[in-house]
Each structure stands twice: as structure tokens, then as C-alpha cells.
């Protein structure tokens, strides 16, 4: 019964069943599954399959957004139980669109997928000042800082944020990942970021890898 309920949660995630996921999660809880297990063995596994479909060309951006919305609906049921369980997160991420940039679809999708993968995510929203990135990352003891820019005119602000971390003396405490359509791996390397994610699927994989690097360090 418990295992079948987890499979139902996974199925809702893979099939983008935004209307059915809440009931599936509730059923899984009543069947005796922990909130953490439902998140990791149900939704996270489902999101991995969604990612595989995306990489295979079976799913596209619209499906990724729907998958993110499906997970968000499921997480609304789980959050109170996760707090009670006091689960250990995979890592803490502070994320936002840099100052001057008001685009957030890609950033929101990355945040949702990171949460479904077990990360604690603090989404600062859009048009985020460099000082706030530093303040939030330091105050929340973030492991990773994610910056998004969709405009070429705001890409330069990413460098300024990294400089702000250096001036604050905490650059070596966090890993910095960039994202956004105009941002390239070469640009990320040039301005001193640790990585660049081409899409939400790759961003989650990169964050997992960065956490492994931090643990080894």
C-alpha cells in the first residue's frame, strides 16, 4: 500500500497531473510514508524522469513548467510535515534575478526543481540588488548562490554581485551558479562564477555536484 502510494505520486509528477498530485500526496502520507520519502522517492524520482524526457526531446519547456507546478502543488501538502520531521536538506540555495532584470520563469522553474530534489531554496525574486544577495547568502549560511539574467544588458551585474561577495570576504564560502538564455559557460568562467546551467535540469545536476565538492572540501 505504501509503495503503491509512492508510485502514484511519481506518476502524477511524470504525467503533469497538477490536479491530482495533492490527493496522491495525502494518500501516501496516510499510507505511512514519511514526507521526506514522498518528496524524494515520489516527486524527485518523478522529476528525474521528466528531466530524461526533456533531454530526449519528448518534453519541452512547457512540460517542464507544468512539472514544476505539479511539484509545487504537492509540496504545499508536504511542507507542514517536513517541518515536523526536521529533515536534513541536500543544501541551501539563495536564488534570484539580478538587478535590472524582471524575468523569472526560468528562475522559478529552477527553484521549484531544486526544492523537489531536496534543497532548501530561498527565492529572492527579481531585480535583486547585489547587497541583498550577499546579505541573504551570509545570513542563511547558503551553500550555493544562483543568479539569473535574461537580458544581455543585465549580465554585467552578475560580475558585480561576485565582486560584492569578494569584498564581503565570503566568496570562498559559497558556490555561484549562473543561468539565463544569453549566459554561457565561457562568460561564467570569465567573471569568476563556479558554473553555468543551460536549463533547469542541468542546474539541479550542477548543484548536486557543487554540494559534493563542498563536502569533500
CA atoms of 141 and 125, how far apart (whole Å): 18
Q: How far is CA 175 from CA 49, 181, 212, in A?
A: 27, 20, 11
Rounded mean pLDDT, 45-50: 89
CA atoms of 27 and 41, how far apart (whole Å): 15
At 49, list the grid cell. Answer: 524522469
Indicate the pLDDT class of residue 1, thresholds 50, 70 and 90: confident
pLDDT of residue 84: 64
> pLDDT tens digits, residue range 68-126?
889 889 988 988 887 666 666 789 999 999 999 998 888 988 998 888 788 999 999 99
- The residue assigned the cell 548536486 is 208
- At residue 195, φ and ψ (nearest 5 deg) are -165, 165
Domains and CATH numbers, the chain: 2-85 (1.10.1240.10), 92-216 (3.40.50.280)
Instruction: Quote the radius of gyration of the chain (alpha carbons, Å).
Output: 17
Higher pLDDT, 201 or 18: 18
Q: Is the pLDDT of residue 144 over 70?
A: yes
Contact, 86 vs 13, CB < 8 A? no
- Reference 42, options 67, 90, 6, 1; nearest CA is 6
SS3 27: helix
Q: Is the pLDDT of residue 127 over 70?
A: yes
Q: In what order do the strands lie in the sheet with 120-123?
A: 120-123, 92-97, 144-148, 175-179, 195-197
> pLDDT tens digits, residue range 98-109?
999 998 888 988
pLDDT of residue 145: 98
> pLDDT tens digits, residue range 159-204?
999 999 999 999 999 999 999 989 999 999 999 999 999 888 889 8
Computed over every residue of the chain, the mean pLDDT equals: 91
Amino acid at each position: 500500500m505504501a509503495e503503491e502510494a509512492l508510485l502514484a505520486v511519481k506518476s502524477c509528477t511524470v504525467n503533469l497531473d497538477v490536479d491530482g498530485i495533492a490527493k496522491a500526496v495525502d494518500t501516501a502520507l496516510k499510507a505511512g510514508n514519511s514526507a521526506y520519502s514522498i518528496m524524494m522517492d515520489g516527486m524527485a524520482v518523478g522529476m528525474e524522469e521528466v528531466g530524461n524526457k526533456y533531454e530526449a526531446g519528448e518534453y519541452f519547456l512547457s512540460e517542464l513548467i507544468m512539472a514544476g507546478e505539479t511539484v509545487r502543488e504537492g509540496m504545499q501538502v508536504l511542507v507542514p510535515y517536513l517541518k515536523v520531521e526536521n529533515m536534513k536538506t541536500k543544501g541551501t540555495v539563495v536564488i534570484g534575478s539580478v538587478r535590472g532584470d524582471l524575468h523569472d520563469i526560468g528562475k522559478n522553474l529552477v527553484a521549484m526543481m531544486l526544492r523537489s530534489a531536496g534543497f532548501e531554496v530561498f527565492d529572492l525574486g527579481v531585480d535583486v540588488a547585489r547587497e541583498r544577495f550577499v546579505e541573504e547568502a551570509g545570513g542563511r549560511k547558503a551553500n550555493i548562490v544562483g543568479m539569473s539574467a535574461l537580458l544581455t544588458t543585465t549580465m554585467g551585474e552578475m560580475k558585480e554581485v561576485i565582486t560584492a561577495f569578494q569584498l564581503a570576504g565570503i566568496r570562498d564560502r559559497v558556490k555561484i551558479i549562473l543561468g539565463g538564455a544569453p549566459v554561457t559557460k565561457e562568460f561564467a568562467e570569465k567573471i569568476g562564477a563556479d558554473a553555468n546551467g543551460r536549463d533547469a535540469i542541468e542546474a539541479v545536476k550542477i548543484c548536486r555536484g557543487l554540494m559534493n565538492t563542498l563536502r569533500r572540501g
